[in-house]
Amino acid sequence: MSSSTLSLKSTLPLPNSKHEIPRLGFGVYQSHDQTCVKSCLTALKAGYRHIDTAQYYANESLVGDAVRQSGVPRSEVYITTKILSPGSDAESTYKSVVESVEKIDGGKDGYVDLFLIHSPNGGRDARKLMWQALERARKEGKVRDIGVSNFGKGHIKELKEWAEVWPPAVNQIELHPWCQQRTAVSYCEEKGIVVEAYCPLVRNQKADDKTLKALAEKYQKSTGQILIRYCLQKNWVPLPKSDTPSRIEANADVYGFDISKEDMETLDGLDQGDKGAIVQAVTN
């Protein structure tokens, strides 16, 4: 997509859904206490309309507080959370999902836009319990769309064995030039599953990479802005995190320029496969 059409307001359609997902998200992993509230408020003021939290981050209520304080209507903010592990049975797993919804949006008609299984690592029974709990919450309107995270091709296919809702709306995985997870990404693209990029900034660990620095100089942007723009041009939904107001703003200032096809290919050439992951590469 060219710079003239892509903006902070751009969205992507989701499979099995009438809802769309904003193409830039704001991550809040390791954002705690009032810092989390302040960062979300700064992000919403800067124009982000999509926040990515999780049970594991222990800040779902803080994200909810920030959205309420911001004055931005709930219907205009896209909120994602993730279930970390199942309870001992279907009912307790479902309860855990509902508790998250209540923390984020406790009103009578409270909902979250997207609820993901955080990780496939708990095993087949865990994946089944969590997916069925998410399906129930979706049916009841507490959750609009459901998806997965850290899932490889095999895990996504396996869901079909018991899923009423398939494919999952999104798969959130680690993605940046050094970790491109091509098998999982092309499978998702083939099935219409939206691909979300976590650690899109590689946690700033590649700020001194020569190729990246040269491109930042060429486009007169920061290395972070190049990395986020790279994700957007790949059709991935990047979820940059920051608790630094100036960085929160800069990370959303990624429009009005295009990385050329040739320079996208140069960035593609940095892929190190699974070795490039700083958190986790999926198992396909």
Ligand X SMILES: NC(=O)c1ccc[n+]([C@@H]2O[C@H](COP(=O)([O-])OP(=O)(O)OC[C@H]3O[C@@H](n4cnc5c(N)ncnc54)[C@H](OP(=O)(O)O)[C@@H]3O)[C@@H](O)[C@H]2O)c1
CB of 243 to ligand X, least distance (A): 4
Segment interacting with ligand X (CB under 6 A) among 120-128, 162-170, 196-204, 255-263 = 196-204
Q: Which position among 29, 48, 56, 57 bears the catalytic label? A: 57
By CB under 6 A, tell whether 181 contacts ligand X.
no
Considering only residues 208 to 237 of the shown chain, the ones binding ligand X according to CB under 6 A are 222, 224
* 57 belongs to the catalytic site: yes
- CB 225 to ligand X: min, Å: 7
The verdict on whether residue 19 carries a ligand-binding annotation is no
Residue 38's CB: how many other CB atoms inside 10 A? Answer: 17
Site for ligand X, residues 59 to 88, rule: CB under 6 A: none
Task: Evaluate the CA torsion angle 61, 62, 68, 69 in order and state its sign.
Answer: positive
C-alpha–C-alpha distance, residues 77 and 90, integer Å: 30
Total residues contacting ligand X by CB under 6 A comes to 27
Rank residues 167 and 240 by Cβ distance to ligand X and give the closer one.
240
Among 195, 242, 255, 263, contact with ligand X (rule: CB under 6 A): 242
DSSP of 224-273: HHHHHHHHHHTT-EE--B-S-HHHHHHHT---S----HHHHHHHHTT--G
Question: Does 171 help bind ligand X (rule: CB under 6 A)?
Answer: no
Q: What's the min distance (Å) between Cβ of 228 and ligand X?
A: 9
The bridge status of strand 11-13 relative to strand 20-22 is: antiparallel
User: How many whole angstroms separate alpha carbon 28 and alpha carbon 54?
Assistant: 9
| 120 interacts with ligand X by CB under 6 A | no
Q: Which of 34, 92, 183, 204 binds ligand X (CB under 6 A)?
A: 204
Query: How far is it, in rounded angstroms, from Cα 222 to Cα 219?
Result: 9
Per-residue tokens: 148: 């997965």
Catalytic residues: 57
